[in-house]
Amino acid sequence: MPTGNTAAGVRARKGEAEPLVMVTAYDAPSARAAAAAGVDVILVGDSLGMVVLGYDDTLHVTMRDMVTHTAAVARARPPQLVVADMPWTSFHLGAAGAQRNAARLVRAGAGAVKLEGGAKRLEVVRAILDLEIPVMGHLGLTPQSVHVMGGFRVQGRGTSAARAIVEDAVALSEAGCFALVLEGVPAQVAKEVTTTVPVPTFGIGAGADCDGQVLVFHDIVGWSGAQAPRFVRRYADLEGLATQAVSQWASDVRARRFPTPSETYH
Ligand code: KIV
């Protein structure tokens, strides 16, 4: 069953036996599917840049994109908490700008925002919380740091890198984040964070010991190209089904089997 549609409801489920479930959605149809599937949280991730808009990274995603797609998800009226990602540069240029951008996402329909980064983002996290907007943190492989990381690489390998992630997680939870995403980190690091912080962790490529799991909608349904990372499990081949459906329709048109009289206004 989905958790109540508040950040506090999600926060309160820390430590429950049943893991939390979060999935991305970027438009009304994917939001309807996620809602009907009964997930706990819907994330309008800035992965939309790569998954839907065709960019090679998330750095091209703008506030305008995030507002448009958050509003599309919200118009499906999912009962779940909708979390909207703060895109690159929307929270890096000062607390006041971050507050304005977080407010735009809430006005578009989000009940919380997510932002990438650890200790150096604490001031911004506090400023957004000061506006009464719940914040979800995001640590480990943070795609907006792709150039600094030298690619989309697993983070937190080695003792000092692992310790830094645990310290960042503690700092974010103490600052007031209601949940944390742990992306692309060794399972041992995710487990250490999960047992240390008092807020739920959502893992993606972070092993089985987080409080919950998050995946990209298009990866689950098989609509994101041929190659999927090892942490993805595909449950359908929508890309194949869509290609098949369109090519059947094209053959029917070319063979004059479409439209029939019953598909025509008389
Ligand atoms: O943008 C996104 O989809 C995300 C998830 C991968 C957690 O941040």
Q: What is the pLDDT of residues 218-257, one digit of tens each?
A: 999 999 987 889 999 999 999 999 999 999 999 999 999 9
Rounded to the nearest angstrom, the distance between the alpha carbon of 46 and the centre of ligand 1 is 6
- The verdict on pTM exceeding 0.85 is yes
Rounded to the nearest angstrom, the distance between the alpha carbon of 47 and the centre of ligand 1 is 6
Using a 10 angstrom Cβ sphere, with 0-12 exposed, 13-18 middle and 19 or more buried, the burial of residue 79 is: exposed
- Asked if pLDDT for residue 4 goes beyond 70, the answer is no
Q: 3-class SS at 201? A: strand
Kind plus residue range of the DSSP H or E element containing 203: strand 201-204
- Active-site annotation, residues: 183
Rounded to the nearest angstrom, the distance between the alpha carbon of 151 and the centre of ligand 1 is 16
- Asked if pLDDT for residue 72 goes beyond 90, the answer is yes
Instruction: Give the span between the Cα atoms of 245 and 218, in whole angstroms.
Output: 18
Residue whose token pair is 């893991």: 19
Kind plus residue range of the DSSP H or E element containing 136: strand 135-140
The predicted pLDDT at position 1 comes to 43
> Which pairing describes strands 212-215 and 41-44: parallel, antiparallel, or unpaired?
unpaired
- Asked if pLDDT for residue 190 goes beyond 50, the answer is yes
Which structure tokens are listed for 242?
């869509």
Residues in contact with ligand 1 by the CB-under-6-Å rule are 24, 43, 45-47, 85, 138, 181, 183, 204, 214, 216
Using a 10 angstrom Cβ sphere, with 0-12 exposed, 13-18 middle and 19 or more buried, the burial of residue 152 is: middle
Q: Which of 46, 60, 155, 202 to mutate to test the pocket of ligand 1 (most atoms within 8 A of CB)?
A: 46
- Asked if pLDDT for residue 59 goes beyond 70, the answer is yes
Rounded to the nearest angstrom, the distance between the alpha carbon of 43 and the centre of ligand 1 is 7
Instruction: Give the span between the Cα atoms of 158 and 186, in whole angstroms.
Output: 10
- Asked if pLDDT for residue 3 goes beyond 90, the answer is no
Q: Which of 22, 70, 177, 181 to mutate to test the pocket of ligand 1 (most atoms within 8 A of CB)?
A: 181
Question: Which DSSP letter does residue 145 get?
Answer: G
Rounded to the nearest angstrom, the distance between the alpha carbon of 252 and the centre of ligand 1 is 39
**Protein residue with its CA nearest to atom 3 in ligand 1:** 45
Supply the mean pLDDT for the chain. Answer: 96
Beta-bridge partner residues of 138: 116, 181
Instruction: Give the span between the Cα atoms of 247 and 253, in whole angstroms.
Output: 10
Domains plus CATH for the chain?
Answer: 7-235 (3.20.20.60)
Q: Which one, of 46, 37, 3, lies nearest residue 179 by Cα? A: 3
Q: Which of 30, 43, 224 to mutate to test the pocket of ligand 1 (most atoms within 8 A of CB)?
A: 43
Q: What is the pLDDT of residues 27-58, one digit of tens each?
A: 999 999 999 999 999 999 999 999 999 999 99
**Protein residue with its CA nearest to atom 1 in ligand 1:** 45
Using a 10 angstrom Cβ sphere, with 0-12 exposed, 13-18 middle and 19 or more buried, the burial of residue 143 is: buried
**Count of positions (residues) in the chain:** 266
Q: What is the pLDDT of residues 107-129, one digit of tens each?
A: 999 999 999 999 999 999 999 99
Kind plus residue range of the DSSP H or E element containing 96: helix 95-108
Instruction: Give the span between the Cα atoms of 153 and 134, in whole angstroms.
Output: 28
Contact 140, 165 (CB under 8 A): yes
Q: What is the pLDDT of residues 96-105, one digit of tens each?
A: 999 999 999 9
Q: 3-class SS at 113? A: strand
Beta-bridge partner residues of 114: 85, 136
